Amino acid sequence: MGANYGHMVDVNDVTEHADLAEGTPAGTRREFAPDAPPDGARFDPSDTRQAHAYGERGKMPRRPQGILRLGHVDTTVTDLDLASAYYTGVMGMEITARTEDSVYLKCWDEEDHHSLRLRYAPRQGMDLMSFKVHHEDDLADLENKVTRYGFPVERISKGETLGQGESVRFATPSGHLMELVADVEKVGASGRRRTPDPATDDQPFPRDKICPPRLDHMLINAEEVGESTQFFMDVLGFRMTEQLLDGNGHQLGSWLERSNSPHDLAIVHGPNGGLHHFAFWLDDWDDVRDAADVLAYNGIQLDVGPTRHGITRGSTIYFFDPLGTRNEVFTGGYRPDPDFPTLTWTEDNIGRAIFYYEGQVNERFMRVHT
């Protein structure tokens, strides 16, 4: 047969193979490749522990390894009680832990300990953005890549950060502090994961709260969008789904993903270290419309929307929390498969790229950041 396989088994002499078709001819032989998983076992290419167990052959499918998704956003607030009241009473998040200077919150359908940390500080801002990786092995791999790029990396020991294990932290070219972590405490989803029965159930959530199921993405500012984009792509393995170019072909914005969504992270031109917004996922347009009612009912200042983006094709509302940090609720978009091409918009069409219905961008949206 040409190939030198490790061993061969006569199928007709093996009774435990229940997946064989009835009537398999006598003498049929089953071939086993070297370093193959045990017969009947499933090989998960994203599991680096399996890859080590099954040898170099198991290390070949690299794409699913590394960063998994946005884990949590850590912000600073000047009034911890007011911020907590807003994110619980209007957004509908729930508190999972509280310390002397911080409040940890999650959405109802999130399993991990928290997706938002509010920390008291004299100045409103962003502490860090934390992304979850598949396994502990990925921390060392990405730590080496960041170090080779020229940025120092700090190891945070298990127990130093509430709700999670060991992590690595480093600065990005845009001046943001980024964290990567694999081991996160699971507290479980708190909402019901079933279709409400109109005969027996009230409304699934109170209509004076938005109650998003999860955190979706964030958008940061960078003075050199192109440099930051290349860092996230070349070093951290992000893929660019869309970009916005000026008349000279320089990037004004880029939209990057790791979770087969339109974007987990976006970068737009602005001051280094700036946070433009972080966004919560809603399931459909009706939820976006209901969110607008909740925001109006609670007197929350709207920035833009309800409307739709050209970039990402998502339906959206932008608004500010009481301390001035911009939030977004977002739904829709598309699924970018591995062969999805990068979509390019140009500055002369920036209005429709950002807000497709209005065709123009207001000055506050472009200039205001945390």
Beta bridge partners of 9: 30
Give the separation between CA 24 and CA 102, rounded to whole angstroms: 65
Known catalytic membership, residue 269: no
Q: Which of 114, 135, 263, 369 is catalytic?
A: 263
Q: Which of 114, 276, 309, 369 is catalytic?
A: 309
Q: Which of 277, 334, 357, 363 is catalytic?
A: 277
Q: Which of 87, 257, 318, 369 is catalytic?
A: 318
Known catalytic membership, residue 114: no
Known catalytic membership, residue 328: yes
Known catalytic membership, residue 309: yes
Q: Could you give the residue ranges of the DSSP H alpha helices within the chain? A: 48-53, 80-89, 136-149, 225-230, 285-297, 350-354, 363-367
Question: Between vectors from CA 108 to CA 240 and to CA 202, what angle results, nearest 5°?
Answer: 125
Tokens representing residue 288 in the block: 């976006």
Task: Provide the pairing of β-strand 7-10 with 29-32.
Answer: antiparallel
Q: Which of 217, 257, 276, 369 is catalytic?
A: 217
> What string of H, E and C letters represents the secondary structure of 271-335?
CCCCEEEEEEECCCHHHHHHHHHHHHHCCCCEEEEEEECCCCCEEEEEEECCCCCEEEEEEECCC
Residues in the chain: 370
Which are the catalytic amino acids?
217, 263, 277, 309, 318, 328
